[in-house]
Structure 1
């Protein structure tokens, strides 16, 4: 009986256990089913994502096997980690927060967007939240319910408005707080709530609009390893108690408004590896840093630091990056600097450093950049750098270095810029230059280099810019230089070169700027020079060139031409006998022309040799016989010719973009020589008078494939190529035709055929701004008109950059492309035309620089990349023209200098600034002109990132409205900030 009772009890217990187990499985199954539905809802919200991550998220799979899902021991979802998975869509945060066991949500670095207005109280178990690097909008939601968070990443997430700093009060367990790179609207000082988060080891508040001072209590965060407060508006001194952060590994304070000296106690940060306090107003010396022996990267550029660089820096065994440019440092560099670790780069430009270059910075063969511009360094270049094959940038411009350049320097295999300008180097350029396959810029002017230019320079096939001016190079210009098909700028002036100009230069299709002035070159100017499609500046003055000026030069679109002081003879080509080239031919007594004052009129045999006088009668007789024969031939073929002409007429295709009051035939009949009113970089411009008296301007875009068609008519490949180019042309014209703005020239239609492309614009009767400023009518523009032109043109460019569906980059902003109507209101012309011409070209235009000499942004020369900031630079030059009345290139600026350099060199005092203002502007308005000049200086900053947008330019110009126009007294603050020569950026030195 007891045994039976025991059996019954055991049986009951077994049933009870079974029942409880079944209940558990039922609950578990129900829980998993609920979480499955929540996850599938999450997937559905993001189903447009271009990702394979959801391929495993199927109803027949266990949720714990879903990609990115981690379950706890109870089988419930505890983690969702889908960072960097290309997720796109609006985040369904409400469904996610219903996952009761969720502790980690990591969705950073995706493409999530929309607002987050859901209450996060259901996510109270979260310990890890990462929504950074997305595209949300609106304010950050209330975070006060997330008191258990240890990691919060909202950096670069798109949130705006005021951040709810009070939400941090309960997050006392936070280890990582990353809120940077968001446009928060913070009008208060540094958030003191952060000072209570004593467990933090990461605090990233870079670029989130913080103001005020760094609080003294920052020293309480003793667990910090990474403190980043850069790109804010922080001011005042660095607090001394920052020296309490003994575990700090990285300290980033760059681009603020910090002042004062480095605080005493900074030496205690002995774990510090990366320190960046660049672009502030910090002064004093570097003595407090000499104890930071674990530094790897030290960035202090663009401050007001003074004193010497501590010798201890030479003993830093981990230092690989040192950037101290644009300070007031003196003394020598430690000679052991960079000799321990894999040293990467040094930039100490724009200081007052002396002594020699440390010899061992490339000891380990890893150095990429040596930048020591504008100091007072002396001695020779250490021979060790001749074997530094890792070097990409070698710049020692404006020092007092001397001796012979080590041969290997010329041929460094990875170098892309060698800049030895303005030193005292001697000796030859060696044949090693042929090994520099990646060299794009060679600047060695203003030295004492001698010998012949080695023919091997042609093997440096990446060269874009060469400046060897003001040296003692002799011998001839090697003909092989014509093999440099990427060459854009070639300056050889002020040497003792002799011999003839190589005809091969006519093969340098990318050549934009050519200067051979001040040598002893002889012989004739090669006619091949006239075939350079992008040449803007040609200076061959002060040589011994003889013979006639080639008529082929007439086809060039030159903003500067100087053939003065040679031995040229004969007729100056009619198209060059214009006012724009006054002074270009002086000092050539053998030249003649009826159009240019100071030259003898031409006689029938001017410049004609006796042989030609004998040959010409024979030529005339032969021509007479030939003409008689041709007359018979044309008489027989006349009907066929008329038939061909009608076919050609039928081949024109007119695409209208406005209501037209003319026919294509009216346009075609007027495109003839006598109606040419201008020549641009892309073709001739014709004035067309319609039957109803209305005037139009027609741009004829030259098609460089015409010659190809003549020899390849049967080529299927060429036909396909033509169709592709035509498609590109049509697409670009369609974009430009949609642009409607009062300050942009109207495009009425395009008329195209197999061989020609015509664009029909409105006609502006007052010509271009160039004409009004620099030609015979320049006196008519008073300052009020100039200001109105500046504002109107800026608004036109602003519309192109910001008002179109996609930005339209002009590519050739200049005063001759700003046209004026009958009321002197400006219109932007030729916008985007450089891209059309490139699309329509039949050859590789990758390295053809669009633009005009004097207006081209400096980054063109080494990147070939065009963006809105390139237009801003060019517009800044136009503003300088308006203020000064001078051309972008003038002899008074000095060799190789332009108006930007000239104005920059005069920003030393208010008096010198006033001196650059056009004397025609009344004294009462010169203060107003200076305001516009200040804007021009900002627009022409060497670094694109430092230039304002055109939208900002318009705002600044409107704020600078002349007091005579607005009837108020304007402040007379004439302060300027002159941009650095070489550098900007956190870890990247110069462009």
Structure 2
């Protein structure tokens, strides 16, 4: 047992010494790694997860063997013959560093440090200024923030500094001017502010100066930078720099790219730039430059790109530009250039893009442009060009885009376009073109955009249109095309926009359109289309806008329309549609505008309309035959801005509309609404035109001022009035004369003697007699209105059956403000007359209330009253009953 125990103890002792030896051996191995190698391991300490399997760093860093005596065999590390690290190059390796280790500055022999696109955050350590041998520092395309350390000015050997595409802020340190060996300075796409230090002009070896993409960089471009005569690239685009372009830049004889665009720079283009004979790219677009284009730019024989668009340049396009024989892109669009297009531009044989749009150019299109045999884009839109399109355009066999819209070009569309087999976009809209579309156009199998809007084109749309299988936009609106829409249009499987509006197309809408499943816009309004709306249109599930208005479509709105779930605008107005609004409309949850006006739709307004809460722009159901009351669900349309339900036969109250708090336009006129008009803020901004010809609508809750008041500035244009309105006029005229006699002869003395008599004396006397003895025509009008009320109601101005001592005017107001139908105001003998006659009597009731307004200034004149009555008067032969009940109305039963 003892032998066994001592053997076990001996084993544990041997194991302990073995483990201790191996552990000490490991420590010795790590300690054998050179100082430079241990410094590099600081990168691993800063890494959040350097060995993540998904990281691109795993392969590279797996070679960083800590058992090595030096890091010289590690991936991305290069050493001198003395085993000192001279290069750390790990671009595009996902190190994912939370900070940039300051320990790296201990690599005293380092000449190249490239950590671009390694996902580093934090700031640049100021200790990096101690790299005395560093020639290249590239920390670009990371997430570095904070200022650029001024200590970097101590890198006297530095030739290349790339700090672009980070989040560096603060000013550009003046100390960078001490980098006397610097050849490339890239600080673009940061958050730098302040101005460009003029001291940088001392960097005489500098070849590339790029600080664009710093929007907060302000001040002027220092003229001293013209001393950097070795510059090949100068870029300050997308900054807040202002002032003028220094004339001293003409001394930059090696300059190849000058990029000063999207800034606040103003003034003229220096003519001295014509001396920069090596210039290839001149980018001065999107500034505030004025004056002419310098003819001296024509000296730039090596110029390939000239971009001057988006300025305020004036004068002509210089003929001298035709001497820039290397020019590939010429873009002077969106300026104020005038004059004619120089024909000599046709000498630019390698020109690929010519953009002259949005200027004030005149004259015709030079046929010489056809000599630009390499041309791919010719954009002449938004000018004042005239003449015809030259047939020679067919020689441009590489032409891809031809834009001419918004000019005054006439003549026909050249058939020669058919030779331009690479064409994908033709826009000739808004010109004076005539004739038909050449068949050759439809042979262009790459054509994706054919826009001919707003011309005077005629003829039939050829069935050959179905051959343009690449068409994405076909816009032929505002022309004079006629005949049927060809069925072959359904073969255009890629068509997204189809505009055929304002033409003379006839026949039915071809059902084959439903084969275009990607279509988003269908507009055929203002044509002569007939037949029913194809129910198969409901299969166009990508449709966003559909306008079939101003045609002669018949039948009901297809139930399948509710399947168009992406629809945001639906316009079916001015057709012959009948039936109800489909309940499936509740599925149109993206619809912002619905216009069904001027049809013969009938029935109640579907409650489902209220569930279309996306309706924000407009809902127009006017000029139909809708009946019944407004559905309560309309209260859900709280974002709706415009509602028109006028010219229907709707009844009930409109108080539900008070929930539509976003309304800016409302029209409920020419219906049979009753009750109070809401007094919400949105209703207070509406005019009286919104409520015309709803005689039982009242302006306030108590009915004290009713809709007859709202008709003052608009003629009452209803159908007709009762057959013997002329008898009423005569009768009332006699009554008015009698009132006049009573007031002026019999009682005048009493009124003069008692000016304080109570306002609103009963009978025929106007209320203002209680305050003044002035007798005006408007007082007579009040009496006139009282007599009209007596005729219509069968009651006297004051009699016991009215009750509570109410005058007839107050009694009628009270009735109109109640929930009782307005017809109960009429004499019971009149209520049995035909509905049309009853409606006309209610209109007359409105005129009467107009006359008895408590404010004299709001009453009409007698001439206006007679005109209003005559407007609604009907020929007696139109009615089956006589007006005898009106004659006997004075005897109230």
> RMSD between aligned alpha carbons?
4.2
Cα distance in 1 for partners of 2:152, 2:644 equals 63
Equivalent residue for 2:153, pick from 144, 153, 158 = 144
**Counterpart residue number, 1:111:** 119
Report the Cα offset of residue 502 of structure 1.
0.4
Equivalent residue for 2:427, pick from 419, 432, 438 = 419
Cα distance in 1 for partners of 2:659, 2:350 equals 60
Cα distance in 1 for partners of 2:75, 2:634 equals 65
Matching of residues 372-521 of structure 1 within 5 Å: 372-383=380-391, 385-386=393-394, 388=396, 390-407=398-415, 409=417, 414-434=422-442, 436-521=444-529
Cα distance in 2 for partners of 1:95, 1:326 equals 54
User: Gapped runs of 5+ residues in structure 2?
Assistant: 1-29, 616-632, 646-653, 665-679, 688-893
What TM-score do you get using the length of structure 1 for normalisation? 0.55
Cα distance in 2 for partners of 1:782, 1:138 equals 52
Cα distance in 1 for partners of 2:383, 2:271 equals 29
Equivalent residue for 2:280, pick from 273, 280, 293 = 273
**Is the Cα–Cα contact under 8 Å of residues 346 and 370 in structure 2 kept in the other structure?**
yes
Deviation readout 1:919-966 (Å, 9 max, x if unpaired):
xxxxxxxxxxxxxxxxxxxxxxxxxxxxxxxxxxxxxxxxxxxxxxxx
**Counterpart residue number, 2:868:** none
Cα distance in 1 for partners of 2:644, 2:196 equals 53
Cα distance in 1 for partners of 2:346, 2:114 equals 41
Give the direction of change, closer, same or farther, for the CA distance of 1:362–1:85 in structure 2 (3 Å limit). farther
**Is the Cα–Cα contact under 8 Å of residues 178 and 203 in structure 2 kept in the other structure?**
no
Report the Cα offset of residue 397 of structure 1.
0.9
Equivalent residue for 1:242, pick from 249, 258, 265 = 249
**Counterpart residue number, 1:170:** 178
Equivalent residue for 1:191, pick from 180, 186, 197 = 197
Give the direction of change, closer, same or farther, for the CA distance of 1:318–1:595 in structure 2 (3 Å limit). same
**Is the Cα–Cα contact under 8 Å of residues 45 and 89 in structure 1 kept in the other structure?**
yes
Equivalent residue for 2:167, pick from 145, 154, 158 = 158
Equivalent residue for 2:548, pick from 530, 535, 540 = 540
Give the direction of change, closer, same or farther, for the CA distance of 1:486–1:334 in structure 2 (3 Å limit). same
- Please state whether the residue corresponding to 1:138 is helix, strand or coil: strand
After superposing the two structures, state which structure 1 stretch, 41-50 or 129-138, moved more: 41-50
- Please state whether the residue corresponding to 1:442 is helix, strand or coil: strand
Give the direction of change, closer, same or farther, for the CA distance of 1:185–1:585 in structure 2 (3 Å limit). closer
Are 1:284 and 2:291 an aligned pair?
Answer: yes
Report the Cα offset of residue 556 of structure 1.
5.2
**Counterpart residue number, 1:42:** 43
Report the Cα offset of residue 366 of structure 1.
4.6
**Counterpart residue number, 2:259:** 252
After superposing the two structures, state which structure 1 stretch, 146-155 or 377-386, moved more: 377-386
Cα distance in 2 for partners of 1:778, 1:414 equals 60
Cα distance in 1 for partners of 2:464, 2:308 equals 41
Give the direction of change, closer, same or farther, for the CA distance of 1:110–1:547 in structure 2 (3 Å limit). same
Report the Cα offset of residue 549 of structure 1.
4.7
Are 1:124 and 2:125 an aligned pair?
Answer: no
Report the Cα offset of residue 351 of structure 1.
0.3
Report the Cα offset of residue 676 of structure 1.
8.0
Are 1:321 and 2:329 an aligned pair?
Answer: yes
Matching of residues 783-794 of structure 1 within 5 Å: none
Give the direction of change, closer, same or farther, for the CA distance of 1:298–1:411 in structure 2 (3 Å limit). same
Deviation readout 1:250-277 (Å, 9 max, x if unpaired):
1111111112212342322222111111
Give the direction of change, closer, same or farther, for the CA distance of 1:114–1:780 in structure 2 (3 Å limit). same
- Please state whether the residue corresponding to 2:459 is helix, strand or coil: strand
Report the Cα offset of residue 573 of structure 1.
4.2
Are 1:205 and 2:211 an aligned pair?
Answer: yes
**Counterpart residue number, 1:768:** 638
Cα distance in 2 for partners of 1:379, 1:778 equals 60
**Is the Cα–Cα contact under 8 Å of residues 249 and 273 in structure 2 kept in the other structure?**
yes
Give the direction of change, closer, same or farther, for the CA distance of 1:35–1:538 in structure 2 (3 Å limit). closer
Report the Cα offset of residue 220 of structure 1.
1.4
Matching of residues 562-573 of structure 1 within 5 Å: 562-566=571-575, 568=576, 570-573=578-581
Cα distance in 1 for partners of 2:550, 2:637 equals 34
Give the direction of change, closer, same or farther, for the CA distance of 1:295–1:577 in structure 2 (3 Å limit). closer
**Is the Cα–Cα contact under 8 Å of residues 577 and 595 in structure 1 kept in the other structure?**
no
Give the direction of change, closer, same or farther, for the CA distance of 1:274–1:30 in structure 2 (3 Å limit). farther
Report the Cα offset of residue 143 of structure 1.
1.3
Give the direction of change, closer, same or farther, for the CA distance of 1:174–1:501 in structure 2 (3 Å limit). same
Give the direction of change, closer, same or farther, for the CA distance of 1:90–1:555 in structure 2 (3 Å limit). closer
Deviation readout 1:227-265 (Å, 9 max, x if unpaired):
111212222222222222122111111111112212342
**Counterpart residue number, 1:678:** 611
- Please state whether the residue corresponding to 1:159 is helix, strand or coil: strand
Give the direction of change, closer, same or farther, for the CA distance of 1:75–1:454 in structure 2 (3 Å limit). farther
Cα distance in 2 for partners of 1:594, 1:675 equals 13
**Is the Cα–Cα contact under 8 Å of residues 577 and 593 in structure 1 kept in the other structure?**
no
Report the Cα offset of residue 352 of structure 1.
0.7
Cα distance in 2 for partners of 1:182, 1:569 equals 61
**Is the Cα–Cα contact under 8 Å of residues 773 and 885 in structure 1 kept in the other structure?**
no
Give the direction of change, closer, same or farther, for the CA distance of 1:194–1:583 in structure 2 (3 Å limit). closer
Report the Cα offset of residue 374 of structure 1.
0.2
Larger radius of gyration between Structure 1 and Structure 2: 2
**Counterpart residue number, 2:622:** none
**Is the Cα–Cα contact under 8 Å of residues 169 and 193 in structure 1 kept in the other structure?**
yes
**Is the Cα–Cα contact under 8 Å of residues 611 and 636 in structure 2 kept in the other structure?**
no
**Is the Cα–Cα contact under 8 Å of residues 355 and 377 in structure 1 kept in the other structure?**
yes
Are 1:308 and 2:241 an aligned pair?
Answer: no
Q: How many residues align?
A: 604
**Is the Cα–Cα contact under 8 Å of residues 635 and 660 in structure 2 kept in the other structure?**
no
**Counterpart residue number, 1:645:** none
Report the Cα offset of residue 504 of structure 1.
1.4
Equivalent residue for 2:142, pick from 114, 134, 145 = 134
Give the direction of change, closer, same or farther, for the CA distance of 1:197–1:308 in structure 2 (3 Å limit). same
**Counterpart residue number, 1:708:** none
Give the direction of change, closer, same or farther, for the CA distance of 1:675–1:326 in structure 2 (3 Å limit). closer
Equivalent residue for 1:349, pick from 319, 332, 357 = 357
**Is the Cα–Cα contact under 8 Å of residues 613 and 637 in structure 2 kept in the other structure?**
no
**Is the Cα–Cα contact under 8 Å of residues 410 and 429 in structure 1 kept in the other structure?**
no
**Is the Cα–Cα contact under 8 Å of residues 490 and 515 in structure 1 kept in the other structure?**
yes
Cα distance in 1 for partners of 2:350, 2:64 equals 47
Matching of residues 968-987 of structure 1 within 5 Å: none
Q: Tell me: higher relative CO, structure 1 or 2? Use CA pairs within 8 A at least 6 residues apart.
A: 1
Report the Cα offset of residue 205 of structure 1.
1.4
**Counterpart residue number, 1:298:** 306
Cα distance in 2 for partners of 1:296, 1:255 equals 20
Cα distance in 2 for partners of 1:148, 1:375 equals 55
**Is the Cα–Cα contact under 8 Å of residues 564 and 584 in structure 1 kept in the other structure?**
yes
Report the Cα offset of residue 554 of structure 1.
5.8
Cα distance in 1 for partners of 2:398, 2:247 equals 40
After superposing the two structures, state which structure 1 stretch, 298-307 or 265-274, moved more: 265-274
After superposing the two structures, state which structure 1 stretch, 344-353 or 487-496, moved more: 487-496
